[in-house]
């Protein structure tokens, strides 16, 4: 006997029925950054022994860049924009 949960899991179509990741979507930056780093560095690294370190460094760079861009956008929208809006009244 199959349970309804198993039937729904087997019938999952990723592009038609996407996962409900609304509460934890921001955590997807880590696997995306890692997989992009692996693909990029696998082509660019001369010696395969340098691959793990190069992937780790690039993954950290991508994640830190995304955090920095998010912080800059937050500061710009929450701090700077209200100050500028008050100047032009």
Tens digit of pLDDT for each residue in 56-78? 999 999 999 999 999 999 999 99
Stated pTM of the model: 0.74
Tens digit of pLDDT for each residue in 7-28? 666 777 778 877 788 888 889 9
Tell me 89's DSSP state: -
CA 32 to chain centre: 5
Q: What is the dihedral of CA 56, 58, 64, 66, to 10 degrees?
A: -130
- Residue ranges per domain, the chain? 25-87
For residue 6, give both structure tokens: 């198993």
């Amino acid at each position: 006997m199959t349970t309804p949960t198993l039937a729904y899991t087997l019938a999952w179509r990723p592009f038609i029925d996407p996962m409900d990741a609304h509460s934890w979507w921001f955590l997807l930056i880590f696997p995306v950054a890692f997989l992009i780093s692996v693909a990029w560095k696998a082509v660019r690294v001369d010696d395969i022994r340098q691959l793990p370190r190069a992937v780790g460094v690039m993954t950290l760079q991508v994640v830190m860049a995304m955090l920095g861009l998010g912080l800059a956008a937050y500061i710009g929208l929450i701090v700077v924009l209200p100050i500028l809006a008050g100047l032009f009244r």
